[in-house]
Homo-oligomer: A and B are copies of this chain.
C-alpha cells in the first residue's frame, strides 16, 4: 500500500507521475425530433477522423467549474445554460498518449446558439443522438452517463428551461420531455401536470404559424435550477 490517509500527503506537491486533468463537455440541445450533441472532429492520432467532445486541460489557477465554463464559452455563445459536473473518468489507458483524467460536465443549451467558429477551423457539428458518428476515446461511455443523468434529472427538476427559448408553446415544452424521456405523453395529462406546478405562465401573446389555431405562448416563471417533482 502507498500510505493511507490524507494526512500523509507530501508537504510539497510532487512534480511527476501526475496525470493530466481535462474537462470534457457534453453539450446538448434540442433538435427537431431528437437531442443533439456537439462534437468536434479529430484530425490527428489517436482516433483521427473520429468525433470527440469539446474539452481541454484545466489551467493551473482555475477551478473545474471555471474550466468547464471556459470550454463552453469557447464553443458556443452562452445564455441560460445549465451546466453540471457529470462524472470523472480515469481509466489509466483511456487515452493512449498518457494518463489523462477527464472530469466530464454536461451542458443544456438553447438551440439557436451558433457554434463558435473554432479558432483553428476545427470541424464542430451538432449530431442527433439517433445518428452519431464514431466517437473517440471512451466518449461513447461518457455520453451514456450524460444521457442517463439528464433523463433522470429532467423528471425532478426544472432544468428544461435551459433547452427552450424565452417564450414557447406548451406543445414545444411537451416535445422536449417526450424527446428526452423517449416516450409519448398524453397532451391533456401533461398540461394538467404542468399547470399544477406553476412552472410557466402565459405571456398573453399568441404564436400563429400555419393553417391552424394559434398557440398561446408561455415563459418560465423562474430560470434558476430548482427541485420540482414532475414525473
Q: Which residue of B lies closest to A16 (CB)?
A: B15
Measured between beta carbons, the chain B residues less than 8 angstroms from A119 are 1, 3-4
- Chain B nearest CB, measured from A110 CB (Å): 20
A212: CB under 8 A from chain B? Answer: no
Measured between beta carbons, the chain B residues less than 8 angstroms from A1 are 70, 74, 119
Given contacts A63-B91, A90-B63, contact A22 B6 (CB under 8 A): yes
- Chain B nearest CB, measured from A133 CB (Å): 14
Main secondary structure, interface of A, reads: loop
A100 to B19, CA, bound (A): 11
A59: CB under 8 A from chain B? Answer: yes
A196 to B225, CA, bound (A): 34
Measured between beta carbons, the chain B residues less than 8 angstroms from A26 are none
A69: CB under 8 A from chain B? Answer: no
Measured between beta carbons, the chain B residues less than 8 angstroms from A195 are none
- Chain B nearest CB, measured from A87 CB (Å): 6
Cβ proximity bits A76-90 to B, threshold 8 Å, 1 near / 0 not: 000000000101111
Cβ proximity bits A31-75 to B, threshold 8 Å, 1 near / 0 not: 000000000111110000000111111111111100000110011
CB of B56 within 8 A of CB of A6, answer: yes
Measured between beta carbons, the chain B residues less than 8 angstroms from A11 are 44, 97
The contact of A24 among B6, B18, B101, by CB within 8 Å, is B6
Measured between beta carbons, the chain B residues less than 8 angstroms from A100 are 9, 13
A74 to B6, CA, bound (A): 13
